[in-house]
Amino acid sequence: MAYGLHNMHQDLCPEGGKGLCPAMTPINGSLYLRYLLNTRFKSSEQKEEVYFDSKGDPPGRYEILNFQPTTQANGNTTYSYVTIGHWMNGSLTMNGHSIYWPRQSQGYSHLTRSFTSICSEPCKFGQAKKVKGQTCCWVCDTCMENQILVKNNTECQACELGMWPNANKTDCLEIPIDFIDIGDTEAIVCVSLACLGMSATAWIAAIFARNHNTPVVKASTRELSYILLLGIALAFSSNFFIVSKPCREFCYIVR
């Protein structure tokens, strides 16, 4: 305050002298505040520059202390704070090698690595970052298999029917139609067995038709037997539609 008042006195009272001159009577508080904010000087003890920002706050100066053990000459261990760095006017200066970390050999079995000064760990792949209040703190929510990450990886969104997320979970892609080709080994075996089954069914149906009026066929409930043979033939024929390229009509027939 004295420096600001001195500078104000020199500007408003150029003739010098002691006390207040008429230009400073009464003192203009707003003008005096402006002189205070423009004051700069170095402290006599620490030789540090003192000034004020636009909000009237002095520069921030902090010492970073670390609680460290010290072994005395008699073998006793004492603990004290040791300065390992400074924060001054937005600039950080710190000696990382002088930081003391507790070790497992000293009885701290739960410590496997150095401490990290963060609120939340980075989210893993496929997780959405849900911010909680402060931007440096969040919760990671795992998205489902059919969901992608949207809004800068902060939300999970499900893909539409017939769509599936890509490898990066950034976009939904159309699911390709995959079906058995008639030339595949599985299709050939299936069709061959179906043909064999239909041939056997037709052979049995022919025997029933040839002996339609015999007592044996009549006793076996021939009408019901014909219906069963027809159902068996239809079951074998469905294999041809299964191995064919899917379409709406074939799906109706198979169902």
- Burial zone of 165 (CB within 10 Å; 0-12 exposed, 13-18 middle, 19+ buried): buried
Position 239 confidence tier, pLDDT thresholds 50, 70, 90: confident
Q: Domain for residue 115, yes or no?
A: no
Q: Are residues 196 and 248 in the same domain?
A: yes
Distances (CA, A) of 251 to 53, 180, 233: 77, 14, 18
- Residue span of the structural domain in which 163 resides: 127-174
Q: Domain for residue 43, yes or no?
A: yes
Q: Domain for residue 81, yes or no?
A: yes
pTM value > 0.75: no
Q: Are residues 154 and 201 in the same domain?
A: no
Q: 131-176: per-residue pLDDT in tens? A: 876 667 888 999 999 999 998 888 999 999 989 999 989 999 999 8
Residue 107 pLDDT > 60: no
Tokens for 16, please give them. 């010098």
Q: Are residues 205 and 248 in the same domain?
A: yes
Q: Are residues 46 and 65 in the same domain?
A: no
Position 43 confidence tier, pLDDT thresholds 50, 70, 90: low
Q: Domain for residue 195, yes or no?
A: yes
Q: Domain for residue 217, yes or no?
A: yes
Q: Are residues 191 and 248 in the same domain?
A: yes
Position 114 confidence tier, pLDDT thresholds 50, 70, 90: low
Q: Domain for residue 121, yes or no?
A: no
Q: What is the pLDDT of residue 113?
A: 58
Q: Which residue has the higher pLDDT, 116 or 70?
A: 70
Among the three residues 114, 147, 174, which one is the final residue of a domain in this structure?
174
The mean pLDDT value for 204-209 works out to 89
Q: Among candidates 233, 186, 185, which has minimal Cα distance to 208?
A: 233
Q: 12-26: per-residue pLDDT in tens? A: 777 766 767 776 777
Q: Domain for residue 55, yes or no?
A: no
* CATH number where 168 lies: 2.10.50.30
Q: Domain for residue 87, yes or no?
A: yes
Q: Are residues 138 and 169 in the same domain?
A: yes
Tokens for 223, please give them. 């009408």
Q: Are residues 250 and 189 in the same domain?
A: yes
Question: Following DSSP, what letter does each residue of the chain receive, concatenated?
Answer: -HHHHHHHHHHH-TT--SS--GGGSS--HHHHHHHHHT--EE-TTT--EE---TTSPPPPEEEEEEEEEEE-TTS-EEEEEEEEEEEETTEEEE-GGG-----GGGT-TT--S-----SSPPPPTTEEEEEESEEEEEEEEEPPTTEEEETTTTEEEEPPTTEEE-TTSSSEEEPPP----TTSHHHHHHHHHHHHHHHHHHHHHHHHHHTTTSHHHHHT-HHHHHHHHHHHHHHHHHHHHHSSPP-HHHHHHH-
Domain count for the chain: 4
Q: Are residues 34 and 66 in the same domain?
A: no
Residue 41 pLDDT > 90: no
